[in-house]
Amino acid sequence: MKRIINFAKFSSVKIGGEHEVTVVDSIDDDVRDAVLIGGANNILISPNPPKMAILSKKFDYINLNGDELEIGGASKSGKIFSFAKKHDIAGFEILQNIPGTLGGLVFMNAGLLGLSISDSLTHVLLARGWVPKSEIDFSYRHSGINEPIFGAKFKIKKGFLQSFADEINKKRSDQPKGASFGSCFTNPQGDFAGRLIEAVGLKGHAIGGAKFSEKHANFLINFNNATFFDATELIELAKRRVSESFGIELKTEVVIL
C-alpha cells in the first residue's frame, strides 16, 4: 500500500514536499531499498528523496513477557514511557518528552545524560529475524543498522525513577521551541556541538527561513517557512567554520534524505 505524506506538515522540522511512501504491513515486505522514516523527527527531506517506507499500525505494540519487554518499531516514545512508568520498568525514563518511534530511537541510539536506548536492549527485529545486541555496533547516537527496524526486545529491570524522569523533563523543557530536529549535530568527543557553533559566530545566524537558535546553537529552527536548501546551506556553513577554526568535523545527527 502507498501513502502520500506532506513532510512540511508531518516532519518535526516542517520542511519538505509531498512524497509517496510505502506502508509496511509485514516483516516479509521487500523494503530493502527503502528508508524507514518513522515519525520523521530527525529527518530532512530533499526535493528528490530516495524510496521511503513507514511501518503500519501492526508494528505499534508493547508486550510484557516475564523479564522481557518486546516493543514494535512503530510504537511512539510517549506510549513506551507511559507503559514503563505504569509497570515500574527502569531504563525508559530517558524517553520523557522525546519525540519518535521505537525504530527511529534504536536506529539513532537515542539517549540523554550518558544513557542510551540500547542500554537494556537485547535483540533487534530485522528482516532476517531477531538479531542479538552483540551483533550490532551500538555507540554514541549510532547503531550501524542500515535496514528497517521492525521491533526490539529489552531485559526488564524494575525500579522506574520518577525523579530521574523529572530531571530529563526539566532538561528538555529548557530546549528551544519551534520546528526543529532536536540536536542538529552529535557532540564531538570531549566537546559540545552547540559551544563550537556559538564560538564560530553562528548562534542565532539565519539563512532564509532557517536559523541556529539563540537559546541553543545546536538547534536548527525553521522559523519562517525554511526550505531544504536553507537548512543544508546552514548545516554546511557550520561544518565548514568549525572545521576551519577547530579542526573538528561536525557530524549531523539529523538524517538528510
What confidence score (pLDDT) does residue 95 get? 83
Average pLDDT of span 139-143: 79
Any alpha helices (H) in the chain, and if so which ranges? 7-10, 77-86, 102-107, 162-173, 193-199, 228-246
pLDDT of residue 26: 86
Higher pLDDT, 174 or 13: 13
DSSP code of 7? H
pLDDT for position 38: 82
Under 8 Å CB-to-CB from 133, ≥6 apart: which residues?
118, 121, 122, 123, 124
Residues annotated as catalytic are: 141, 183, 253
* Average pLDDT across the chain, whole number: 89
Domains contained in the chain, CATH given: 2-58 (3.30.43), 59-164 (3.30.465.10), 177-256 (3.90.78.10)
Higher pLDDT: 142 or 224? It is 224
Give the pLDDT score at 173: 66
Taking only the tens place, the pLDDT of each residue in 108-130 is 888 776 778 888 899 999 988 99
The tens digit of pLDDT for each residue in 149-195 reads 999 999 988 988 887 777 777 776 667 788 888 889 989 988 999 99
**Does position 256 have pLDDT exceeding 80, yes or no?**
yes
Helices 77-86 + 162-173 axis angle, to 10: 150
Q: 101: which DSSP letter?
A: B
> For the segment 221-235, what is each residue's pLDDT rounded down to a tens digit?
999 999 999 999 999
Torsion, Cα 42 240 175 61, to 10 degrees, reads 20
Structural contact between residues 203 and 214, judged by C-beta atoms closer than 8 angstroms: yes
Q: Could you tell me which of 36, 72, 42 has the C-alpha nearest to residue 54?
A: 36
pTM above 0.95, yes or no: no
C-alpha cell at 150: 521492525
Taking 90 as the threshold, does the pLDDT of residue 97 lie above it? no
Q: Where are the beta strands (DSSP E) in 77-138?
A: 111-112, 115-116, 121-126, 129-132
Return the closest-CA partner of residue 202 out of 181, 187, 218, 186: 218
